[in-house]
A and B are shown apart, each in its own frame.
Chain A
Amino acid sequence: MKAKRPAPGWLWFGAPAAIALVLPLLVSSAFAIDIFIRVLLFAFIGVAWNLIGGYAKQLSLGHAAYFGLGAYTSTILLIRFGVSPWIGMLAGGVVAVLASLPIGALCFRLRGPYFAIATIATAQVLMLLFLKFRDFAWGAEGTTIPNLGNSPLMMQFDAKVAYYYIALALLAIGLVITYQIERSWMGYYLVAVGEDEDAAEAIGVDTLRIKRQIYMISAFLTALAGTFYVQYIYFIDPNTAFSFNVSVEAALVSIVGGIGTLWGPVVGTVLLEATSALLQSWLGSGHGGAQLTVYALILIAVILWRPSGLLGVLTNAYAHIVQARPAKREALIDG
């Protein structure tokens, strides 16, 4: 940010951004683009989760609640009222923020594993509710999203690449927000809460308030991902929108990459999705879950070997190769 210091700031953003921007020009296979879109989307959800789950260490396993609310809000607005999903996306974000208030008020009374369990329950309750909303939200059958052909104003495109760039933009927004928070009082307060809530209170941190605030931001961003996802797959039902997998994946990519770090969720998603895709093509689906077993073993190994995430391994390796001067930049967190 400061002109005096050469590089890192913009380089860390610039290099990955450049690669991400030209990638679809180099790889044209629809299969590859589809994987890239999933990587970007889950990296974005991971980034949103990381704000509350990584920096403040509130292990939410219910982010599917906001993903689903975003998905349903934009879909209902689109099908019932003809509102563009672009607007529906923001509306979904607002709905998620509103929902996060009572959910946060209930769950933040609990600490540790009890908090995690409570958040799982909120997502499951929402899923059950939407299963019952037959007239209003198509119940268990779900609905397809009417295909309007190529209409950018309705967030529908013939070219898959367009979805790629939307997902990339979402991820960029998430990273910029995280970057700003990390470099402000809010980032310090969040890490303090994650480290020791009582000690944070002792120096004037309103721990409940900061948790609620960051939860709102996290919920808003997760809802955007929900809208994007249903627009991309043209289908919605409660099991997709409120899938427990979304909640788990959001946490998992961050944990594998490195919680409470800017790039952790991105690194985690790239590694996990690449592993998963490679295993699928090598082992196929013919060996009765062999692929999932190996995937799980790799996960366990990573978490045992590097509980603080793989981003640290990469930056250490980088420092080792370049022999960068030790921690010149003002680090909020070491390493």
Chain B
Amino acid sequence: MAEALIVRNLSRRFGGLRAVQDLSFSVNEGETVALIGPNGAGKTTSFNLITGYHRPNAGSIAAFGRELVGLRPHAICAHGLARTFQVARPFGKMTVLANVMTGAFLHDRTMDGAREKAHEAIDFVGLSAKEHLPARDLTTIDQRRLEMARALATQPRLLLLDEVMAGLNPAEIDQAVALIERLSQRGLTIVIVEHVMRAIMAVARIIVVLDHGQKIAEGKPEEVMANAEVIRAYLGTGFVHGAVSGAAQC
């Protein structure tokens, strides 16, 4: 399987804080990889480095055979990497449809073409009924859905989702998991930062565990759950016997 994303020896300091240290991992095309770790472990910083919002102090990031370091975020998006933000950032005064059309314009500058692509993406995330509402009037989960639709409208090959499930209730988490599974079935490569263990276990094929900016473990979910260092740093003793109860939401 070809590699969609290769991160090598990535480092970023903020003053004295080493937010990401010597991080390496790769993601195969069509695979879903989860980045987990305690707060401040460097997950969101890694996302910001990959998508061009921060420049790394060292290291390289290649996606689909092209070096990304030094590109601006819009160019990285045009290369096929779309992201969502930890706190959803809809264009509040635009309607849902206009938000998603703005994403669709990346590959289709015509109104009709963009509208069609936007409808498709809105339908996919299940927001069709609220298409004409201004984005600022949406609930939290709908804003997340909107952000996902907007990202999908750019027709990405790799989707980076930053804590899309934070603050959702269990039923909403189930919906979100189902959505991510459907995206994966469509062949999309997904990198997901998440705290909700139940969701991670459901969607991720590979888990990368970060702590203090460093990778402390990587592997299949069962392997990672059994790793003593991971348990110490992050999961807590409830996971000692691989008991994935679904209740653990840090």
Contacts and interface: CB of A to CB of B under 8 A. Distances in A.
A191 B151 CA distance: 17
A183 B111 contact: yes
Interface residues of A, number: 25
B96 to A, nearest CB: 10
Contact of A203 (B97, B98, B102, B134): B102
A327 interface: yes
A135 interface: no
A189 B105 contact: yes
Contacts of B75: 206
B124 interface: no
Interface residues of B, number: 35
Contacts of A203: 77, 82, 102-103, 106, 150-151, 153-154
Contacts, number: 90
A34 interface: no
For the complex of A and B, list the 6 residue pairs with the smallest distance between their C-beta atoms, beginning with the closest.
A204-B106, A201-B73, A195-B91, A199-B89, A204-B77, A203-B103
B153 A332 contact: no
Interface string B46-76: 0000011100000000000000000011110
B114 A185 contact: yes
Interface of B: 51-53, 72-75, 77-78, 82-83, 85, 89-95, 97-98, 101-103, 105-106, 109, 111, 114, 132, 134, 150-151, 153-154
Contact of B94 (A184, A205, A333): A333
A240 interface: no
Contact of A207 (B74, B105, B153): B74
A206 B72 contact: yes
B105 A201 contact: no
A327 B109 CA distance: 24
Given A188-B94, A188-B98, 11 more contacts: A189-B102, A191-B94, A195-B93, A195-B94, A196-B89, A201-B73, A202-B151, A331-B98, A332-B94, A333-B93, A334-B95
A163 B119 CA distance: 48
